[in-house]
Amino acid sequence: MNINFVIASKDPKVLSNFYGKINSEKVIKGFNSSHYFISLSNRSKIDFYRPAKDYEWNKKGNSASLCFQGKPSIQPLKAIETWSSELLKSGGTVKSSPKLEKFGAEQWMIDPEGNHFLILVPFLGTLFKDFN
């Protein structure tokens, strides 16, 4: 079974390129100029599409969100800060400051169309057990 994610977008080409940079994945043109996707290495994919003209854009909270996990690191907070800096250059914005937790570091970001997503870098190896 494959699990796919769908993101409604006002400009699917721009948004798919933004997420392609996060994942270091190639963006592929889909059914037409309003559909692009990224195939992920685990057989999943993220589709970006322009919905029907009468689509109601939801501006409420985020009960579900994408989470992008980077490679485990001895210094996950430093890795998150570097990653976040690259995303800012690509059109993302910061929603909250990076946080160091027992499992590693995380930071909430916002894509160019206002969607919230999480970036996460876990601690490498057993360091997380020793974190106080």
Domain spans of the chain, in order of start: 4-49, 66-130
In sequence order, what are the residues at sequence separation of 6 or more whose Cβ sits closer than 8 angstroms to the Cβ of residue 63? none
Domain 66-130 has CATH 3.10.180.10: yes
pLDDT score, position 65: 77
Q: Residue 30 corresponds to which tokens in the numbers above?
A: 């889909």
Residues 4-49, CATH architecture: 2-Layer Sandwich (3.30)
Instruction: Provide mean pLDDT across the span 59-74.
Output: 76
Among the ranges given (13-22, 58-67, 77-86), the one the predictor scored with the smallest mean pLDDT: 58-67
Q: Is the pLDDT of residue 77 over 70?
A: yes
* Alpha-carbon distances of 26 from 14, 64, 113, rounded to whole Å: 13, 24, 20
H or E, element range at 129? helix 127-130
Percent of the chain with pLDDT over 70: 81
What are the pLDDT digits (tens) for 46-66? 777 776 666 666 655 545 678
pLDDT score, position 94: 96
